[in-house]
Structure 1
Amino acid sequence: MIVCGDDVLAHRLARELQDVYGERVTLVVPAPREPAPRPSVRPGPGAGLAQALFGRVTAAVARTAVADPPGTTADPALRVVETAEVDDTVLLDAGVAQAAALALVHEDDETNIRDALAARRLNPRLRLVIRLYNRRLGQHLETLLDQAAAVAEPGLDPGLLDASTTVLSDADTAAPALAATAIAGTSKVVQAGGLLLHAVERTPAAAGERADPGLCTLALLSATANDPAGFEGSELSGDQGPQLLPDDGAVAAARGRGTVALEAISYAGPTLPSKRFGTSALPVASLFSRRLRWSLAGVAAAVAAIALASSIATGDHPLHAAYLTLLDIFAIGDPAVGEATSRQVLQILAGFVGLLLLPVLIAALLEGLGTFRSATSLRRPPRTLSGHVVLLGLGKVGTRVLARLRRLNIPVVCVESDPEARGVALARRLRVPTVIGDVTEEGVLEAARIHRAHALLALTSIDITNLEAALSARSLKADLRVALRLYDDDFATAVYRTLRAAHPGALTRSRSVSHLAAPAFAGAMMGRRILGAIPVERRVLLFAAVEVAGNPLLDERKVSEAFHPGSWRVIALTTGSVPPDRPRAGFVWQLDPDRVLRPGEHVVVAATRRGLAELLGRGPRPA
């Protein structure tokens, strides 16, 4: 296995392949550069704390990124190649001609695409896993590289071609878990084809009460997982931690422990419509304020009353009386000289109504013009907004999380310091209230109505900014639900423990994007489609699409026999020969335990990382 990357995801992925799957890995990383001399800057107030925290993050990342240099025998299964730029020569030196899989996880999409084209030319049989943020471009790239492999190797197995190229995004992989952390009553979410899978955390069932297992029980939580302070760490309480994929006996014997149950729901309707003119983006109610609408209604009622009185007093037809009243209101009618007194009084009243109508029309014009002018600008958070989610950071991860929250119709307020950030355009199109400003400055969180918010998602790429935002938000609202995106997993664990100890009455979660994304990338390198990953406390469950034919642990076995507690479990299968990673595949979720799995079928399995390695034949077979 070859891994090419320039951040912590590459190092974590290499360790994942080596430790979990037992593969020999070559890690291609950029050569270290000499640090440029730093200008002398006088430190400001609070610089000591910021430097100490930044030093803690840097040291943790450095420990994660340390790898044995080439030629050492300390870790013979991991070889490190340092190069200034990846080209054909570097790929050949890394062994691309003999490799089984290559992962390109640079942060730059263009670099990954260029290296993928070169690698496919050098080895058509190579399995490619590409990190790409642009999903539409990723779909076209998958098709292009698979066609290139078919042209270069006409006799290549079609089943191998189907899994020869996989395009993943660390933002898409981590976004469901990050978004679910801030949602009340929901939990982790994975998309499988056209369905949404919800892994719902359930509280312990009362005595004599049977809990609803949903489709199946994925895990038994730690005994301290349901503590309101969020004690899910087992290391402080002596708990043995979560039990993944338990059997029915273990679930029945577990008392006082919450469970993680899987639920499948059909997707009802399209996503939120794009906010454009001519659609529901600007209804009449949003063009004019409520006070203005009441004013217009009052003027209309006055016109109708005068017209009715004129019809009764003069005996004219109601339509003719209404016509004369409108002429009097707009001051274009003839004076009622020599006519009945009632007609003259009504004409004077109509003139007064016309005077009242003039400022109302001007106000309506100004309000409508202001609404159209602000339609393409960012909305400000309404003063009455409450129970919303404050999303800090609209980068790659923040943009994906924002899209998921809006699909669930959850009110969101975004905070971003860069007005040209990647997700600002999405926030403008979805009409999401956005505050442009540095969260470290006074008044920014208050402008986002943090004191009335339900949760805070700090998803910027700077750990110190996320930590400072969490501390500032907690000072304004002590019971706020907080989820932090932190670069290093060790630092995330330390912050999580400290915050939960300082605020035992509030829910705190710390997440590392690389920790959530690495298992999905590693599973894709093993040759199977990874549908998603669900974190269960500090562990991860993978959902993968596996072919039954040729697998001795699945082929011609009953569903109950294919279940290995603690390692993997079959949760669904396709009714045809279409792999379940395709959007239109048919699913069967309620499986009969005595149903026999046949060749030609594909199953969806929930597995641990080590269990998936065993199921794919890359690890020791279970007894």
Structure 2
Amino acid sequence: MIVCGDDGLARRLATELHELYGESVVLVMPPAGTAERPRARFGARRPTGLRVIEASELRDETLADAGIADATALALAYGDDETNIRAALAARRANPGLRLVIRLYNRRLGAQLADLLDQAGAGADPQGAPAATAGTTVLSDADTAAPALAATAVAGTSRAIPAGGVLLRAVEYGAPAAGPGPQAPLATLALLSTGTTGAGTPYRGQDSPELLPDDDAVAAATERGRVVLERIASTEGNTTRPDGRGAPLAALFSRQVRWSFAGISAVVLALAGATWATSGDASPIGPLYVVLLDLFAIDDPARGQPVDRQVLQLLAGFAGLLLLPLVTAAVLEVFGTFRAASSLRRPRRGQSGHVVLLGLGKIGGRVLRELRALRIPVVCVEADPSARGVAVARRLRVPTVIGDVTQEGVLEAAGIERAAALLALTSKDTTNLEAVLYARTLAPGLRAALRLYDDDFATAVYRTMRAAYPAALTRSRSVSTLAAPAFAVAMLGRQIVGAIPVERRVLLIATLDVEGHPLLEGRTVADVFTAGTCRVVAVDRPDDRDGSGVPAPPGDYVLRAGDRAVIAVTQRGLAEFVGRRTVVP
């Protein structure tokens, strides 16, 4: 397998394929210390047996040197979309049967490119054999990591995962001794390293979470928090947000203007009724027309007519004088509404319980969409008005503060003292760390999560912040760590349907066909379960493809041909199920 890239994602992916799945991997990266790779280094953790080719540009000669003709899969993980597209086209020509995994930010272009490359790979190779293994998977590290980052910032909320014909979600709860938890969870996915005792004091008795525990371990963990799997019967409401198009009447006109129009309409109807009663006309249409003429001051004086007609005309003219400023106010309000819809909103005074999102780059923009899909109130902070995510914030009408987060008063303008959580997702590690530390001085108990480039640095920051602020929840996330498992599984020819972050670890949700699988077919759900490695959480049966699949199969259910098993696995457990090698615990 060949991995090409210029940042931490490529290094992490190559290391995971080599060490976890036992693959023969060639890593192509720019030379260390160059502008293309200023921080990309392995240091002392470089895995043994991993071949590394240094090349400033990914040319055809470089791919040939890496063995593209005999390779099984190629991952193109450069940060530049154009570089990945050029290399993908060249690689498909060199090896029609190659499995391609491409990192692209532009999702629409990625879907079109995948179709194009799949059509090219569906033909015959130079020897005339069909390229049956050819396939193209387009992934975005931003899309892959965004749900995990959003879930990190919002404790108690969850991310829905479509699996087995149902919607599943993983929810984090406190210790059972501290209060009520879920009524009937499908499964306990993990025991956290932290929790709350029955007395309400923080519990920190473990260094790392315990993934996929057995029933005995769950029963004994009375003071540890846990992550459980629940079923969602249906989608939780419509997530459509107002974006300024098709705005309702209430969004265009204020309550005062609407009531004023209602009052004027009532006056006009009353004058029309009085005119009809005094004129003796058979139909009210004529009197109403006369009142409207008087209202709009059309020259038709009631000379020589009865006094009551003249009085009604004067009253209608007076009502017309009141209507003129009302129409002017309505026009100005409509203009102001559309102007506000095309500009950034300011945070409301006194807003509380929201998430402060720092950075609206490609990662921040994706996370913002995830938070709004969960109906979480958000206030954004961005220094660059032309950043990618600013347009997303404007379209979703999310309050945004334009300013440098390191400057005094910017976080205060976003209401950090009253916020529920802080997400620091700028492209600079020092900026994220500085923002979290400053926010801690303003709100010591604030839930905070920060994005860091280097995984080792992220681990060190997490441990230090946890020790310095034991009563506050702090998470540090490396995007490459969150995204690498999805890229690795795609290179192995499998797809995962979700990734659940559990503190510093990741639990994968995968869907596998039971037929012909030696670890699944003919075995019961209880036999497949291995503590710390794998657990069947749902089964999609052929006769239940209408959405009524088995969300929590019993332990004695026998998996048979035609079933699709939805399994929660660790990264090492997934290595067993893709049949690459047997992992010894």
State the partner residue of 2:7. 7
Aligned counterpart in structure 2 of residue 122 of structure 1, from 67, 75, 94: 94
Deviations 1:425-478 (A, max 9, x none): 333333333333333344443443444433322211112222233344444444
**Residues 347, 270 of structure 1: CA spacing in aligned structure 2 closer, same or farther, 3 A cutoff?**
closer
**In structure 2, what is the Cα distance between the partners aligned to 1:327 and 1:415?**
54
State the partner residue of 2:582. 620
TM-score (normalizing by structure 2): 0.87
Aligned counterpart in structure 2 of residue 524 of structure 1, from 490, 495, 507: 490
**In structure 2, what is the Cα distance between the partners aligned to 1:354 and 1:26?**
82
State the partner residue of 2:541. 575
State the partner residue of 2:219. 252
State the partner residue of 1:469. 435
RMSD value over aligned CA atoms? 3.6
Alignment of 1:242 with 2:209, yes or no, is yes
Which ranges in structure 1 are unaligned for 5 or more consecutive residues? Answer: 37-57, 69-74
- How far 1:285 sits from its partner (Å)? 1.2
**In structure 1, what is the Cα distance between the partners aligned to 2:67 and 2:122?**
22
Q: How does 1:81-160 map to 2 (within 5 A)?
A: 81-153=53-125, 155-156=129-130, 158=132, 160=133
TM-score (normalizing by structure 1): 0.82
Aligned counterpart in structure 2 of residue 183 of structure 1, from 146, 154, 168: 154
State the partner residue of 1:607. 569
- Letter in structure 1 aligned against 2:218: V
**In structure 2, what is the Cα distance between the partners aligned to 1:67 and 1:492?**
16
State the partner residue of 2:261. 296
Alpha carbons 1:180, 1:189 under 8 Å: kept: no
**In structure 2, what is the Cα distance between the partners aligned to 1:115 and 1:229?**
56
State the partner residue of 1:26. 26
**Residues 500, 238 of structure 1: CA spacing in aligned structure 2 closer, same or farther, 3 A cutoff?**
closer
- How far 1:507 sits from its partner (Å)? 3.1
**In structure 1, what is the Cα distance between the partners aligned to 2:166 and 2:6?**
34
**In structure 1, what is the Cα distance between the partners aligned to 2:524 and 2:418?**
53
Aligned counterpart in structure 1 of residue 51 of structure 2, from 79, 93, 106: 79
**Residues 123, 332 of structure 1: CA spacing in aligned structure 2 closer, same or farther, 3 A cutoff?**
closer
**In structure 2, what is the Cα distance between the partners aligned to 1:209 and 1:371?**
46
- How far 1:586 sits from its partner (Å)? 8.2
- Letter in structure 2 aligned against 1:242: P
Identity %: 61
- How far 1:536 sits from its partner (Å)? 1.0
**In structure 2, what is the Cα distance between the partners aligned to 1:450 and 1:326?**
55
Alpha carbons 1:458, 1:484 under 8 Å: kept: yes
- Letter in structure 2 aligned against 1:80: V
State the partner residue of 2:243. 275
State the partner residue of 1:543. 509
Aligned with 1:107: secondary structure?
A: coil
Aligned with 1:596: secondary structure?
A: coil
Which ranges in structure 2 are unaligned for 5 or more consecutive residues? Answer: none
State the partner residue of 2:168. 197
State the partner residue of 2:141. 170
**Residues 429, 211 of structure 1: CA spacing in aligned structure 2 closer, same or farther, 3 A cutoff?**
closer
- How far 1:309 sits from its partner (Å)? 5.2
Aligned counterpart in structure 2 of residue 350 of structure 1, from 316, 328, 338: 316
**In structure 1, what is the Cα distance between the partners aligned to 2:316 and 2:207?**
83
Q: How does 1:310-389 map to 2 (within 5 A)?
A: 320-332=286-298, 334-336=300-302, 343-383=309-349, 385-389=351-355
Aligned with 1:391: secondary structure?
A: strand
Deviations 1:319-345 (A, max 9, x none): 555444433332236445565555555
- How far 1:176 sits from its partner (Å)? 0.8
**In structure 2, what is the Cα distance between the partners aligned to 1:239 and 1:251?**
14
**In structure 1, what is the Cα distance between the partners aligned to 2:58 and 2:199?**
49
Deviations 1:113-134 (A, max 9, x none): 2222322333334332221222
- How far 1:568 sits from its partner (Å)? 0.8
Aligned with 1:613: secondary structure?
A: helix
**Residues 35, 296 of structure 1: CA spacing in aligned structure 2 closer, same or farther, 3 A cutoff?**
closer
**In structure 2, what is the Cα distance between the partners aligned to 1:419 and 1:66?**
40
* Matched positions, count: 580
**In structure 2, what is the Cα distance between the partners aligned to 1:168 and 1:198?**
22
- How far 1:66 sits from its partner (Å)? 6.0
State the partner residue of 2:552. 590
- How far 1:89 sits from its partner (Å)? 1.8
**In structure 2, what is the Cα distance between the partners aligned to 1:149 and 1:193?**
30
**Residues 606, 184 of structure 1: CA spacing in aligned structure 2 closer, same or farther, 3 A cutoff?**
closer
Deviations 1:7-51 (A, max 9, x none): 011112222223322333322110235679xxxxxxxxxxxxxxx
**Residues 375, 207 of structure 1: CA spacing in aligned structure 2 closer, same or farther, 3 A cutoff?**
closer
**In structure 2, what is the Cα distance between the partners aligned to 1:244 and 1:559?**
18
Alpha carbons 1:489, 1:515 under 8 Å: kept: yes
Alignment of 1:484 with 2:450, yes or no, is yes
Aligned with 2:170: secondary structure?
A: strand
Moved more, 516-525 or 383-392: 383-392
**In structure 1, what is the Cα distance between the partners aligned to 2:244 and 2:508?**
38
- How far 1:106 sits from its partner (Å)? 0.7
Aligned with 1:610: secondary structure?
A: helix
**In structure 2, what is the Cα distance between the partners aligned to 1:568 and 1:310?**
83
Aligned with 2:398: secondary structure?
A: coil
- Letter in structure 2 aligned against 1:178: L
- How far 1:246 sits from its partner (Å)? 1.7
Alpha carbons 1:229, 1:507 under 8 Å: kept: no
Alpha carbons 1:133, 1:169 under 8 Å: kept: yes
- How far 1:271 sits from its partner (Å)? 4.8
**In structure 1, what is the Cα distance between the partners aligned to 2:520 and 2:131?**
21
Moved more, 106-115 or 259-268: 259-268
Deviations 1:281-322 (A, max 9, x none): x22112122232233233333434444555667777765554
Moved more, 316-325 or 129-138: 316-325
State the partner residue of 2:369. 403
Moved more, 209-218 or 25-34: 209-218
Aligned with 1:561: secondary structure?
A: helix
**Residues 577, 343 of structure 1: CA spacing in aligned structure 2 closer, same or farther, 3 A cutoff?**
closer
**In structure 2, what is the Cα distance between the partners aligned to 1:491 and 1:240?**
17
**In structure 2, what is the Cα distance between the partners aligned to 1:76 and 1:463?**
29
Aligned with 1:175: secondary structure?
A: helix
**In structure 2, what is the Cα distance between the partners aligned to 1:504 and 1:547?**
44
**In structure 1, what is the Cα distance between the partners aligned to 2:542 and 2:115?**
22
Aligned with 1:423: secondary structure?
A: helix
